[in-house]
Chain A
Amino acid sequence: MSQIHSILLAEDNPHDVELTLAALGMHHLANQIIVAPDGAETLDYLYCRGKYQGRSDGNPALVLLDLKMPKVDGLEVLRTMKLDPALQPVPVVMLTSSREEQDLVRSYRLGVNAYVVKPVDFQAFVDAVRQVGIFWAMHNQPPPGSGTTNPRAAQSP
């Protein structure tokens, strides 16, 4: 079995977090997940600052990014990451409710690696999350510098 890499889930909605974790958990991917409840904390994690100061587990193998989040939104996080040579290689998958063309266009312009619309149908949602998780966290070879992690990251309140 491939090594399981850590996944950073940036999602402000606790229900979505729970559903996503449930979907990932069905496939035993849940213990590799760090959840950030907004864009600011997502960036804190990535830059090892604030409450994540001093963490030493490297970049996540995958960032699952919601578009609409308080403080700093997903697109802003994406832009910051793709402009930073250190974070630029980290794969980012948009996991969002929005099918809006402009969101898609802007995301791809900023260099997103994949764009997944959360289906309303839970079964479809589970399938989508599973495929994304398995592909990016298990099969995909992450860029050097990504670390495996223990589920010690802050959970959303």
Chain B
Amino acid sequence: MPLRNTPIRRKLVLVILLTCLTVMLLMRGAFFTYEYHTFREETQRELATLGRIVAANSTAALAFQNQDDATEVLAALRAERHVTAAALYDGSGRLFARFPAASADALPPAPGSDGYIFVGSRLAGFEPVLQKERRLGTLYLQVDTGAIMSEWLWGTFRIGLAVMAVVLLVAYGISRLFERQISQPILALVEVAQAVTARRDYSVRAKRLSNDEIGLLTTAFNQLLVQIHAQKTALDEHSIVGITDAGGILTYVNDKFCAISRYPREELLGHDHRRVSSGSHTKESIRDLWSTITQGRVWHGEFRNRTKDGAIYWIDTTIVPFLLPDGQPYEFVAISADITVQKQAQAEILKLNQELEHRVVERTAELEVANRELEAFSYSVSHDLRAPLRHIDGFAQLLGNRLNGVMDDTSRRYLDTVTGSAKRLGVLIDDLLVFSRMGRSEMRRSEVDTRQMIDEIVAEFQQETQGRKIEWSIEPLPIVHGDPPMLRQVWANLIGNALKYSRRRELARISITHRLDPADGHVFAVQDNGAGFQMEYAAKLFGVFQRLHHTNDFEGTGIGLANVRRIVERHGGKVWAVGRPDEGATFSFSLPTAHVTGLPVL
């Protein structure tokens, strides 16, 4: 079993035991080295002492040249188990006597310098045999230190082993004691974590058993739980949450899920989503959903579901697959919002729209009927109303012709008033019909050279304005896109008005200007220095039959400007007027530039 998979408690025991063992071994090693040296020195010293004793005992034998005595002295060394060889050399260096066990080959042929040295596993050396400062000969001693060493080593090892065993036993006991202290809180933490995962109960807390790092870990873990719990509470507060296993079986539903579906929790858990399905989703869409989430991708969409009591509710759902490390989903979390109200509102809007459309169609039909009636009306006005007028005028004139010469001035004036009024009524009817036609007739747009149109209109007025002093000022004017007869009507009206209301000036000044406005497009203005008007009545200017001057002062039917407005508005533009009494008026209108084909080079 690799070390990282070993439980912490075993690791802990292992660490303590290993530490103890290492310390012990190191200590034993150092101690052994020291003892080894001490042991060698001791052995050397002991041999030297033995050498001096044997040398002292051999003095007489050497002094009297008694070989037997000497051999006896050396034989006494038998008591020393480890002595492997011993010999005596006389003053001239000849071998005098030897330790019986030693063969002559093992002995050095002549004595060396005094002192002991280690040679391999043996310690050997020479000791002088002295009598009152006089050297009689030399003693040779050799011991087998290997045997001594192994004896000593065995003893030391046994003691060391025993100590180590005791120490490790004690250490194991102590470590077991601590191990429980450390692993218990961790195991407790693990237990809580497992409980949280299994029951999705984020309200439980781990008990803090200590104030050490594990205590800190417990606190951090609890804080984590608090946070998760808070977020889950927030999520539950807003969303419908359902969790299924990989097979789509519900393993968790929150309160909102139960509330909206009207199913108690136990009737949902263990079932799949079909429990609440209304059956209104196609097999393809469900297959598409499954294919998305089983591939580990997030799915988003809407569901039309059915409650336990059969009511329909709509939810907007996001399904997030939770994946195993190999990419296989093990759980699907569906978070939904109740959109029933929106859906109902949508349906309501759709219904209203349809109703509205229906009503528009109805109203359009009504309008078409009204329009046809209006057409019929204006037709009969143009035909039937004009006929009696013509008769009034015609017969009044015939009467005038007939009474020519016998009629007095008053009768003539009466008759003139009859014909004058008839004519005026005719003009009124004609204007009204033109106005009505301008609103109804189809627009036929084409390019209109404004300047050319104005020149033609001014020329048409020439006869009317003969003898008048008029100063014209006309700016370069663009080619516009519009219905030529209608635009002609506009210009004729505005220019006609300017001429009419300035006719009492000695010098009439009429200017026609143009500018391009970013919002309104072409803006044209016709300015005169004529009678003008009070601005408070400006709004009335463009109404049908609205006049600011008496017919006696300036003739007119009050239709012209209404016509201008109607035409300009049908072209998508607007009209306005600025004026001051007796200081002239400026009438402006705009035409959107959408149809502009370009300014002429002037």
Extra A-B contacts (15), CB below 8 Å, given A13-B387, A120-B390: A15-B387, A15-B391, A16-B387, A19-B390, A19-B395, A22-B398, A98-B379, A98-B382, A98-B383, A100-B378, A118-B390, A120-B423, A121-B393, A122-B419, A123-B397
**Cα separation A19 to B388 with both chains bound (whole Å):** 12
Interface residues in A1-24 by Cβ distance below 8 A to B read 13, 15-16, 19, 22
**Cα separation A121 to B423 with both chains bound (whole Å):** 6
Q: Which residues on B sit within 8 Å (CB–CB) of A67?
A: 383
What is the minimal beta-carbon distance from B387 to any residue of chain A, in angstroms? 5
Q: Mark B370-400, 1 if CB is under 8 A from A, else 0.
A: 0000000011001110110111011111100
Residue A99 CB within 8 A of the other chain: yes
Given contacts A101-B437, A120-B426, whether A15 and B395 have CB atoms under 8 Å apart is yes
User: Which of A22, A118, A121, A123 has the most B CB atoms < 10 Å from its CB?
Assistant: A121
Q: Is the CB of A97 within 8 A of B394?
A: no
Q: Which residues on B sit within 8 Å (CB–CB) of A68?
A: 383-384
Interface residues in A83-138 by Cβ distance below 8 A to B read 96-101, 118-123, 125
Secondary structure type dominating chain A contacts: loop
Residue B441 CB within 8 A of the other chain: yes
Residue B312 CB within 8 A of the other chain: no
Q: Which residues on B sit within 8 Å (CB–CB) of A123?
A: 397
**11 CB-based A-B contacts, threshold 8 Å:** A19-B395, A19-B398, A68-B383, A68-B384, A98-B383, A99-B430, A120-B422, A120-B423, A122-B390, A123-B397, A125-B394
Q: Is the CB of B383 within 8 A of A120?
A: no
Given contacts A22-B398, A101-B437, A101-B441, whether A122 and B383 have CB atoms under 8 Å apart is no
Q: Mark B274-295, 1 if CB is under 8 A from A, else 0.
A: 0000000000000000000000
Least CB separation from A16: chain B residue: B387
**Cα separation A119 to B378 with both chains bound (whole Å):** 17
Residues of B within 8 A of A (CB): 378-379, 382-384, 386-387, 389-391, 393-398, 419, 422-423, 425-426, 430, 433, 437, 441
- Residues of A in contact (CB 8 Å), total 20
What is the minimal beta-carbon distance from B418 to any residue of chain A, in angstroms? 11
**Cα separation A122 to B430 with both chains bound (whole Å):** 16
**Cα separation A98 to B441 with both chains bound (whole Å):** 16
**Cα separation A122 to B382 with both chains bound (whole Å):** 17
Q: Which residues on B sit within 8 Å (CB–CB) of A19?
A: 390-391, 394-395, 398
What is the minimal beta-carbon distance from A16 to any residue of chain B, in angstroms? 7
Q: Is the CB of A119 within 8 A of B390?
A: yes
Least CB separation from A118: chain B residue: B390
Q: Which residues on A sit within 8 Å (CB–CB) of B398?
A: 19, 22, 122
**Cα separation A100 to B379 with both chains bound (whole Å):** 7
Least CB separation from B430: chain A residue: A99
Q: Which residues on A sit within 8 Å (CB–CB) of B394?
A: 15, 19, 22, 122, 125
Q: Which residues on B sit within 8 Å (CB–CB) of A100?
A: 378-379, 382-383
Q: Which residues on B sit within 8 Å (CB–CB) of A120?
A: 386, 389-390, 393, 422-423, 425-426
User: Which of B383, B397, B423 sits near A97, CB closer than 8 Å?
Assistant: B383
What is the minimal beta-carbon distance from B142 to any residue of chain A, in angstroms? 156
**Cα separation A15 to B422 with both chains bound (whole Å):** 16
**Cα separation A101 to B396 with both chains bound (whole Å):** 30
Q: Is the CB of B423 within 8 A of A96?
A: no
**Cα separation A68 to B379 with both chains bound (whole Å):** 11
